């Protein structure tokens, strides 16, 4: 049987295939149409809100940083101020283009290197090398430290060169024009670290910068704007802007003249005797104003050199046994409570308390002596006698009355309250001469203020005010003792300095009457007991002057000098005597010339003629920076409180020109550097007499000016 072949029609097959393909296409179309309809109606895809995604792509928020407030001293001098620093970088990737494929990357590397070498401390060859990295795929390059912390004037000059592919990052930074200057008190502000710190301003991490961070920081604003696919801003009229609220200015009680002198004295003693630490504070006895305060080790707030040596503000954060200076409180408590008989004799040298022997610093003693000599001789045995006569309960009450065991409340972070070891009779006895009790520097100043103010204790203050509100008033911390008691203790403090048996004769200052108390405190050994050796002590002195009308209290501590080539008293006197004398001389000068301080008025946007006339009428000097006829900036700022005859520097709207700085002080030169952004290298001390750039010379392009003082 023959097989039958069935022939398929090619035309029919094509028709079937076409219908099948059409159905597939229709099905795909319906799927996409449904998908598009879903997206159009809901605005979502895969859980993503497309409307918000689109807005995010074509809208952007720009943070408007608030300017951090300025910190001033009591005379209106700038101690800390915001400036913007810039870092330069170069984009190398050819993928970075603008509209119409316009190159936004570096197109001429040799020219770029040559131009940048005029503004950065790098050679053209070095810059060219960095612009041609081994990794050709590098998107962008930076220039290390040489390309960072550029001033606004340098940034503008580079921008005027119109170099393709060169861009800048802006970051706020803090200017501390005085360098090593109450560094732990003023503190520092810096950008926070970590990924979350992007677009954040500076944050105070120490001292006043930390304590008043909220007030100084202000509140950032923002600008919400539309942008095109290339990232360029469009429709500026539709931008939403929230204005930044700048930080408030903080005024301190510090006096730059006295502070600078104290820093110099501490530096000299620190180099010569190499103590492990030092503290020194000068306080106005009547108001509690801290006029000068510093410590060693310290650091340069401008360069940050030395900052790793110690972060603590030892004036408030460190507790220590004060030693014999606390005998001021012991004597005052005994007199005030009626347990002091100056004519009572006792055997000096040593005394048994429980099973322990307490000795005088002169272990053989001075024989039988009256209690009236115990304080001036700094006799431990005499103080123990007073404590035993008072009894532990009465003595402890006075410890608390004098403000120990609780912070003074000074506006500095981390103030310690102190501790008291008071369980056994031995503990109670040793507190009478400053052992077994931990205090801070400010507590000691507060205690001493009761002696200087007829029994009324004054709180130490570092804050003069916020913004224009800086009318400081004394804050009473109580009246622990009677007026008669304070006068009696003050006389005993004079005996320390002027009696032939006093331990502080070295603190006499010709022309002035000084009252003081010396101290030598043992240092606790981590292994138990106390350290031994001639230098293993905290040596100290607290002084009041003039004794007949107290104006100042100066307290200095010196811990473990490693090069003790002089006696402790002679070392401390190298700080105490010149510092107290300088303060007293300022007081005498002010009494002879009782001019009031001047509040600087604003002259910005006024003509130079009008501005100079207005400031001169206030008793101030003026100096112009620039050749224009309109004032655009001024230092000190409006509202600053300064002394008569100080200089106000005015920047005009013309080209920046160098003023004649003959006779200018260091502080005036620092103001000039701050205003112009130009580094001024100052050599010598005194007043300016030579400048490397002549008066009226153009400052444009100048990076450094040298000024000699004498």
Instruction: Give the residue, 628 or 515, on which the prediction is more confident.
Output: 515
**Cα(385)–Cα(463) distance, rounded to whole angstroms?**
41
- Supply the pLDDT for residue 704: 87
Single out the catalytic residue among 74, 87, 294, 324.
Answer: 324
The helix/strand/coil state of 564 is coil
Q: Which fold has domain 61-252?
A: Penicillin-binding protein 2a (Domain 2) (3.90.1310)
* Residue owning tokens 């010196």: 558
Q: Would you mind telling me the total number of residues written for the chain in this entry? A: 710
Please report the pLDDT score of residue 196 as a whole number: 45
Which pLDDT does position 193 carry in this prediction? 73
State the pLDDT at residue 232: 46
Cβ-contact 417, 318 below 8 angstroms:
no
Exposure class string for 505-527: b at 16+ Cβ within 10 A, else e: ebbebeebebbbbbbbbbbeeee
pLDDT exceeds 60 at position 544: yes
Mean pLDDT, range 187-194, rounded to an integer? 84
- How many angstroms separate the CA atoms of 491 and 496, rounded? 9
pTM beyond 0.85: no
The pLDDT, as a whole number, for residue 592 is 62
Confidence class for position 469, pLDDT limits 50, 70, 90: low
Q: Residue 195 pLDDT more than 60?
A: no
pLDDT surpassing 70 at residue 460: yes
CA distance 701 to 698: 8
Which pLDDT value is given to residue 66? 83
Half-sphere exposure of residue 162: CA atoms within 13 angstroms, side-chain side = 0
**81-90 pLDDT tens trace:** 887 778 899 9
Lowest mean pLDDT among 120-124, 279-283, 428-432, 704-708: 120-124
Nearest to 512, CA basis, from 567, 579, 461, 571: 579
Write down the pLDDT at residue 230.
47
- pLDDT of the residue at 709: 87
Per the DSSP assignment, residues forming a β-bridge with 251 are: 72, 465
Tell me which of 148-152, 193-197, 355-359, 363-367 is least confident: 193-197
On the question of pLDDT at 234 being above 60, the answer is: no
Q: How far apart are the C-alpha atoms of 437 and 421, rounded to whole Å?
A: 6
How many CB atoms within 10 Å of residue 537? 22
Write down the pLDDT at residue 157. Answer: 86
Nearest to 203 by CA among 217, 221, 224: 217
- DSSP conformational letter for 206: S
Question: According to the 3-state scheme, what is the secondary structure of 515-539?
Answer: EEEEEEEECECCCCCECCCCCCEEE
pLDDT value at residue 593: 61
Model pLDDT, residue 83: 78
SS (H, E, C) 371-419: HHHHHHHCCHHHHHHHHHHHCHHHHHHHHHHCCCCCCCCCCCCCCCCCE
What digits encode the pLDDT tens for the residues 652-693? 876 778 999 999 988 788 888 877 778 888 888 778 999 999
* Beta carbons within 8 Å of 570's beta carbon, 6+ residues apart: 506
DSSP 127: H
Q: What is the pLDDT of residue 468?
A: 62
Question: Cβ atoms within 10 A of the Cβ of 369, count?
Answer: 19
Q: How far apart are CA 644 and CA 621, in angstroms?
A: 9
Which structure tokens are listed for 249? 């200015």
> Bridge-partner residues for 290, per DSSP?
283
The domain defined by 256-592 carries CATH number 3.40.50.2300: no
pLDDT at 227: 53
Most confident range (mean pLDDT) of 35-49, 131-145, 193-207, 409-423 is 409-423
**Of 165-179, 300-314, 423-437, 509-523, the least confident:** 165-179
Question: Coil, helix or strand for 101?
Answer: helix
What is d(CA 403, CA 328) in angstroms, rounded to the nearest whole number? 14
Distance between CA atoms of residues 42 and 29, nearest Å: 20
468: left (phi over 0), alpha (psi -120 to 50) or beta: alpha
Higher pLDDT pick, 355 / 547:
547
The domain 598-709: what is its CATH number?
A: 3.30.10.20
DSSP code per residue over 274-324: -EEEEEEEEEETTT-BEEEEEEES---TTT-TTTTT--S-TTTS--B--GG
Helix (H/G/I), strand (E/B), else coil: 35: helix
Cis peptide bond N-terminal to 546, omega within 30: yes
pLDDT band (50, 70, 90) for residue 338: very high
Provide the phi-psi class of 231: left if phi over 0, else alpha when psi is between -120 and 50, else beta: left
Q: Specify whether 151 is catalytic.
A: no
Element (H, E) at 651: strand 647-652
Tokens for 88, please give them. Answer: 């330069």
pLDDT band per the 50, 70, 90 thresholds, residue 507:
very high
Residue 297: is the preceding peptide bond cis (ω within 30°)? yes
CB distance 515 to 541 below 8 Å: no
Task: Give the contacts of 704 (CB within 8 A, at least 6 positions apart).
Answer: 678, 679, 680, 681
Q: How far apart are CA 127 and CA 323, in angstroms?
A: 61
**% of residues, the chain, pLDDT over 90:** 59
Cβ distance 63 to 199 under 8 Å? yes
Do 520 and 537 contact (CB within 8 A), yes or no? yes
pLDDT on residue 659: 92
Tell me the average pLDDT across 425-441: 97
Strand 631-635 with 621-625, pairing:
unpaired
Region(s) of the chain under CATH 3.30.10.20: 598-709
Contact 382, 346 (CB under 8 A): yes
Least confident of 16-20, 92-96, 117-121: 16-20
Give me the sign of the Cα torsion angle 400, 406, 411, 415. Answer: positive
Band (pLDDT 50/70/90 cuts) for residue 489 is: very high
Measured distance CA(131)–CA(143) in Å, rounded: 9
Cβ(652)–Cβ(631) below 8 Å:
yes
* CA gap 482, 505 in Å, rounded: 28
Residue 79 C-beta-side C-alpha neighbours within 13 Å: 31
Q: Which segments of the chain belong to CATH 3.40.710.10?
A: 256-592
Least confident range from 205-214, 233-242, 269-278, 284-293: namely 233-242
**Cβ atoms 297, 277 nearer than 8 A:** yes
Is the pLDDT at 421 greater than 70, yes or no?
A: yes
28-42, 102-116, 399-413, 473-487, range with the lowest pLDDT:
28-42
What's the mean per-residue pLDDT of the chain? 88
Query: Whole-angstrom Cα distance, residue 696 to residue 578?
Result: 40
Note whether 693 and 658 are within 8 A (CB). Answer: yes
List all residues 6 or more positions away from 234 whose beta carbon is below 8 Å from its beta carbon.
Answer: 225, 226, 227, 228
Confidence at 80, pLDDT banded by 50, 70, 90: very high
Which residue in 265, 254, 352, 263 sits closest to 299, CA to CA? 263
DSSP 219: B
Nearest partner of 673 among 160, 168, 251, 81, judged by Cα:
81
More confident residue, 526 or 271: 271
* In contact, 312 and 412? CB cutoff 8 Å: no
Least confident of 485-494, 644-653, 670-679: 670-679
Name 193's Cβ contacts closer than 8 Å, sequence gap at least 6: none
Q: Which helix (H) or strand (E) holds 109?
A: helix 109-116
| Mean pLDDT value of segment 548-569 | 97
Phi, psi of 626 (to 5 degrees): 125, 165
Share of the chain above pLDDT 70, in %: 89
């Amino acid at each position: 049987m023959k097989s039958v072949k069935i022939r398929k029609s090619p035309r029919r097959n094509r028709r079937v295939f076409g219908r099948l393909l059409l159905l597939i296409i229709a099905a795909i179309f319906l799927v996409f149409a449904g998908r598009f309809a879903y997206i159009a109606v809901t605005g979502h895809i895969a859980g993503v809100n497309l409307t918000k995604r689109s807005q995010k792509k074509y809208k952007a928020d720009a943070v408007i940083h608030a300017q951090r407030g300025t910190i001033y001293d009591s005379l209106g001098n700038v101690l800390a101020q915001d400036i913007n620093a810039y870092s330069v970088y170069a984009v190398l990737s050819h993928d970075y283009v603008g509209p119409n494929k316009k190159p936004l990357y570096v197109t001429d590397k040799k020219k770029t290197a040559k131009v940048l070498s005029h503004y950065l401390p790098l050679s053209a060859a070095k810059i060219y090398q960095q612009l041609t990295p081994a990794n050709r795929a590098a998107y962008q390059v930076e220039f290390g430290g040489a390309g960072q912390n550029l001033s606004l004037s340098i940034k503008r000059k580079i921008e005027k060169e119109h170099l393709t592919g060169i861009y800048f990052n802006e970051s706020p930074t803090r200017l501390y024009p005085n360098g090593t200057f109450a560094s732990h008190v003023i503190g520092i502000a810096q950008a926070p670290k970590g990924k979350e710190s992007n677009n954040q301003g500076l944050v105070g991490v120490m001292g006043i910068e930390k304590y008043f961070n909220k007030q100084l920081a202000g509140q950032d604003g923002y600008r919400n704007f539309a942008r095109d696919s290339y990232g360029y801003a469009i429709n500026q009229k539709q931008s939403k802007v929230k204005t930044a609220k700048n930080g408030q200015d903080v005024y301190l009680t510090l006096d730059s003249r006295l502070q600078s002198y104290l820093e110099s004295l501490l530096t000299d003693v620190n180099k010569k005797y190499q103590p492990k630490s030092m503290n020194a504070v000068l306080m106005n006895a009547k108001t509690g104003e801290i006029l000068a305060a510093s410590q060693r080790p310290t650091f340069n707030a401008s360069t940050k050199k030395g900052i790793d040596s110690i972060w603590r503000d030892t004036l408030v954060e460190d507790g220590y046994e004060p030693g014999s200076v606390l005998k001021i409180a012991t004597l005052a408590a005994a007199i005030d409570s009626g347990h002091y008989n100056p004519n009572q004799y006792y055997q000096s040298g040593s005394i048994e308390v429980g099973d322990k022997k307490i000795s005088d610093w002169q272990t053989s003693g001075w024989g039988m002596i009256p209690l009236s000599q115990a304080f001036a001789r700094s006799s431990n045995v005499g103080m123990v006698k007073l404590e035993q006569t008072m009894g532990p309960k009465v003595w402890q009450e006075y410890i608390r009355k004098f403000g120990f065991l609780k912070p003074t409340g000074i506006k500095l972070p981390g103030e310690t309250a102190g501790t008291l070891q008071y369980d056994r009779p031995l503990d109670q006895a040793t507190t009478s001469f400053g052992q077994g009790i931990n205090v801070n520097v400010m507590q000691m100043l507060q205690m001493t203020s009761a002696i200087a103010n007829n029994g009324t204790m004054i709180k130490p203050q570092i804050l003069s005010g916020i913004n224009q509100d800086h009318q400081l008033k004394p804050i009473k911390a109580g009246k622990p003792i009677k007026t008669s008691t304070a006068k009696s203790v003050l006389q005993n403090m004079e005996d320390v300095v002027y009696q032939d048996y006093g331990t502080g004769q070295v603190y006499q200052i010709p022309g002035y009457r000084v009252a003081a108390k010396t101290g030598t405190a043992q240092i606790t050994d981590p292994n138990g007991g106390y350290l031994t050796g001639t230098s293993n002590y905290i040596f100290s002195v607290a002084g009041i002057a003039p004794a007949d009308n107290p104006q100042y209290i100066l307290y200095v501590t010196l811990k473990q000098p490693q090069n003790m080539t002089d006696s402790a008293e002679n070392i401390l006197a190298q700080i105490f005597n010149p510092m107290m004398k300088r303060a007293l001389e300022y007081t005498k000068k002010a009494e002879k010339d009782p001019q009031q301080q001047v509040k600087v008025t604003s002259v910005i946007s006024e003509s130079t003629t009008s501005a100079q006339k207005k400031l001169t009428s206030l008793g101030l000097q003026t100096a112009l920076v620039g050749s224009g006829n309109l004032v655009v900036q001024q230092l000190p700022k409006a509202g600053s409180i300064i002394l008569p005859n100080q200089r106000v520097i005015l920047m005009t709207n013309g080209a920046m020109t160098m003023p004649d700085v003959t006779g200018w002080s260091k502080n005036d030169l620092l103001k000039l550097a701050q205003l112009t952004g130009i580094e001024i290298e100052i050599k010598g001390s005194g007043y300016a007499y030579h400048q490397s750039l002549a008066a009226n010379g153009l400052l444009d392009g100048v990076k450094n000016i040298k000024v000699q003082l004498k």
